[in-house]
Every structure is written in C-alpha cells, then in structure tokens.
Amino acid sequence: MKPIFMVTLLLLGQTLGPAEESLHLDQYTLAKGPVVIEGVSQNASGLTYDARRDSLFVVLDAPQRVVELGLDGSLKRKINLNKFDDTEGITWLGENRFAVAEEARGNIVLVELEPKDGGVNWKKAKKLEAGIQVNTTNGLEGIAYDPLAKRYFVAREKRSPAVFKIIPPKQESDAPTTAILMSLAGRGLRDISGLHYDAKHKRLLILSHESACVVEANPYGIESSRLLLRGGKSGLNHTIFKAEGVALDKHGRLYVISEPNLLYVFEKARPRTRDSDSSGAK
C-alpha cells in the first residue's frame, strides 16, 4: 500500500518534505501608519512589491495609473495606463514585468514598466482572459503570481467570493487559459479585495476589507493564520476602512493600502526574552 500511496501523492503534485512554515500573521502588529500615500488623492485599488527595486507599486482604478512608492509611502514616479479600464489589482512578475487585473473585462494585462516609462498602452499589451464569470459589479478584485509554477491567482470579489488558480497556455498555443477554483480559499469572508503570494513560504495572503482581515492560506486554500484589521487589534486604534491591497516584502514587513490613499505597515512582534522579562527585577 505504501508505494501506491506515494504514487498518489506525486500525481497530486505533493511532496513528503518538511511541513511548510506558517507566516503567523496573528503575531504581526502595526509598525507605521496610516501614512498618506504621496501622489495619490483617491482610488488606491491594488498593491504589489518589487523585490528587485525594493519598491511598492500601487494601481489606481480612476484615473487608470500605477504609482511607484518607497517603502515609507514616498512617491518615486507615476505611470499612466492608457486605455485600461477598472484596474483593481497588480502583481510583480520579475524584472520590469507586471500583470494588471481589469475587474469588469476579466483580463490579466501583461505590461513592462521600464524605469523611465511614463505610460503604457492597453492596445499594445498582451492580455490573458481569466476564464471566470465576471460583470461590472462582481469582477476581478485581486491578483498574485507564483513565479515557480508560473501561474496566477485571481479573486472574485463578492457573491460567493472565491480565489482561482489561473494557468496560462503555453507559448504559441491557441488553447484557452485554465481556471481552477481553490475550494476553501476565501470561505467565510464577506468579500475579497486583494491577494499576495509569498513564494518563499508557499503562502497566499487573502485580504478582505468587509471582514477586516488578512488570511494566510496554504497552497490548497486552507487557512493557517489571520491578521485582524479591526480597531483594538494588531496595534490598530481604528479599523482599516476599505482595505484594497496587500503585499509582503523581502524584509518580512506586511503592507496594506486602503482607499482613498492610506498605507499601513505591519511587522512581526519580537518575542520577549527572559532578560527583558526580568529587567528591573532584583
């Protein structure tokens, strides 16, 4: 029976390696914020982290624009998204490549944002249809990317909020994009407003502004931990209103943006040492 069991696991794409390490989002607490994002007055709708440039990228849904920020929320540059529509999510793919999610169109638009670019054109960009049912009130609200498996994750916002794995066709293929529902991801959330994939730990972060939390899920959609974004929790004095984007940087800091233009930075609380517990004791 053991060989059969092993073959079954391999066919499912699983391994028998060590258990995956949780991010323990419940141990994170507010380190900075809310910070007003420079160069943005309203409609901050999606967030990603570029490890190569050590920058944050925020997408706006009106006007359609991407803003590059320092990790403190300071403005680096603005990039216009010409002829794009209802841009609600963004994810870094590597190098200068990004994917932007258009909510109502149901498109994943692939763009290159060169360091000195001031704008990109929708007509010249490659598009992937996500292959899931969307409309003007319930479309793509978040996007993330797995660079190892070369697949995307997209979120459908409301009315049975859900996360889908999106597998693009091979190059030069006319085959359609494959969309696979992650059956447990998003269950129990009132909506999904943003996504981030942590390739190092193989963890998907799912943001919900109506449920005021960030959920950590393993590759199969099962929840591992949760960061509460309500007042009185996680170091917050007030509940984060309309949280729209989430990202984790290479330093382990977690970022959340909210409409209209606010940035929150969370860090994992340092464990108390025996020396600190006994400081002042005689």
Q: Which two tokens stand for residue 197?
A: 């994939």
Is 12 contained in some domain? no
Is 276 contained in some domain? no
Q: Which of 146, 131, 133 lies closest to 177 in space, CA to CA?
A: 131
Is 167 contained in some domain? yes
Task: Report the C-alpha gap between 69 and 50 in whole angstroms.
Answer: 10
CA dihedral 115, 51, 141, 31 (to 10 degrees): -120
Contact indicator for 178, 166 with CB cutoff of 8 Å? yes
State the residue range of the domain holding 189: 18-269
Per residue of the chain (282 residues), what is the pLDDT tens digit?
433 333 322 233 333 333 468 899 999 999 999 999 999 999 999 999 999 999 999 999 989 999 999 999 999 999 999 999 999 999 999 999 999 999 888 899 999 998 877 799 999 999 988 888 776 667 788 999 999 999 999 998 877 789 999 998 887 777 788 999 998 888 889 999 999 999 999 999 999 999 999 999 998 889 999 999 999 999 999 999 999 999 999 999 999 999 999 999 999 987 665 554 544 444
Is 5 contained in some domain? no
Q: Is 62 helix (H, G, I), strand (E, B) or coil?
A: coil
Is 281 contained in some domain? no
Is 275 contained in some domain? no
3-state secondary structure 135-150: ECCECEEEEEEECCCC
Is 4 contained in some domain? no
Residue-wise over 91-129: b if at least 16 C-beta within 10 A, else e? bbbeeeebbbbbbebbbbbebebeeeeeebebeebeebe
Query: Any idea what the CATH number is for the domain that residue 215 is in?
Result: 2.120.10.30
Tokens 């440039």, located at residue:
53
Residues in the chain: 282
Output the pLDDT for position 277. 54
Task: Report the C-alpha gap between 120 and 83 in whole angstroms.
Answer: 9
Is 205 contained in some domain? yes
pLDDT digits (tens, 9 = 90+) for 71-104: 999 999 999 999 999 999 999 999 999 999 998 8
What domain count does the chain have?
Answer: 1
Q: Which two tokens stand for residue 238?
A: 């007030």
CB atoms within 10 A of CB 205: 24
- Which pTM was predicted? 0.87
